[in-house]
């Protein structure tokens, strides 16, 4: 059996005021829990389909809550789907621009903490990157599926909003073979494992003034030395 109901106007207003506040804090699960509690307490009533802002869907056999669909901006279009395991939030999918394509996926753990946020880099509804928040948002990382096949091959590390470093498995053999470091908003170094020994053996170092130099780790001991350009090559410049 399919069940659907909406909250009373007064309760809905209070609930969505809390939703807005929670979204500002980066938390949706707490607000969804409030809405779920309201359903258990019978705080919903029958209304016409056009006025339904929040719609629960229950398992036809167990009666357990499976899904909450709601219209976050109250314009008559469902734009948020919260997948539930009873009162527990499992995943939330959001179509923020209401173009019919999901552009944000939120995944919650058993403790109802947000574990990762998926998004589509091309905005086409295909999830191909995931943000893994850290406590306080000071050291977040983003995993990217460069071939958009669900396999993370590039990981970027952030301090706040600033990209600090990245590593990538370019040939997708399961081993990192490219490393990047950043200084502010510019690329400082990029290193490569061209010998497939699990560590970089070549790297480019970029100066703040636009200079660049190639360095090589010939012995594989982590010590890089600059490649000296032959005099003949310098003379041809």
Is 2 a residue whose pLDDT tops 70? no
Q: Which residues contact 172 (CB under 8 A, 6 or more apart)?
A: 147, 151, 153
Q: What is the pLDDT of residue 189?
A: 98
Q: Please write the tens of the pLDDT for every residue from 89-128.
A: 999 999 999 999 999 999 999 999 999 999 999 999 999 9
Q: What is the pTM of this model?
A: 0.76
Q: Please give the Cα distance from 230 to 172 (Å, whole number).
A: 35
Q: Please give the Cα distance from 23 to 30 (Å, whole number).
A: 10
Q: What is the pLDDT of residue 162?
A: 95
Q: How many CB atoms lie within 10 A of CB 214?
A: 13
Q: Please write the tens of the pLDDT for every residue from 51-94.
A: 478 999 999 999 999 999 999 999 999 999 999 999 999 999 99
Which phi and psi (to 5°) does residue 180 adopt? Answer: -130, 140
Q: Please give the Cα distance from 71 to 43 (Å, whole number).
A: 18
Helix (H, G, I), strand (E, B) or coil at 231: helix
Q: Please write the tens of the pLDDT for every residue from 144-194.
A: 999 999 999 999 999 999 999 999 999 999 999 999 999 999 999 999 999
Q: Please give the Cα distance from 127 to 151 (Å, whole number).
A: 11
DSSP string, 10-53: HHHHHHHHHHHHHHHTT--HHHHHHHHHHHHTT-EE---GGG-S
């Amino acid at each position: 059996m399919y069940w659907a109901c909406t909250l009373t106007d007064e309760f809905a207003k209070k609930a969505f005021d809390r939703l807005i506040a929670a979204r500002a804090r980066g938390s949706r699960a707490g607000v969804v829990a409030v809405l779920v509690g309201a359903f258990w307490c019978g705080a919903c009533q029958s209304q016409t389909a056009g006025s339904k802002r929040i719609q629960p869907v229950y398992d036809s056999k167990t009666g357990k809550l499976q899904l909450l669909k709601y219209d976050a901006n109250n314009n008559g279009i469902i734009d948020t789907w919260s997948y539930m395991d009873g009162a527990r939030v499992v995943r939330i999918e959001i179509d923020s621009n209401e173009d019919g394509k999901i552009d944000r996926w939120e995944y919650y753990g058993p403790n109802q903490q947000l574990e990762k946020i998926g998004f589509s880099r091309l905005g086409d509804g295909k999830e191909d990157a995931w943000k893994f928040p850290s406590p306080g948002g000071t050291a977040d990382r983003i995993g990217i599926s460069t071939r958009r096949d669900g396999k993370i091959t590039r990981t970027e590390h952030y301090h706040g909003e600033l990209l600090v470093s990245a590593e990538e498995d370019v040939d997708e053999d399961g081993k990192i073979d490219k490393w990047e470091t950043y200084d502010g908003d510019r690329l400082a170094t990029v290193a490569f494992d061209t010998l497939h020994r699990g560590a970089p053996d070549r790297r480019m170092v970029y100066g703040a003034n636009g200079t660049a130099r190639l360095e090589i780790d010939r012995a594989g001991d982590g010590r890089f030395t600059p490649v000296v350009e032959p005099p003949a090559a310098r003379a041809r410049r």
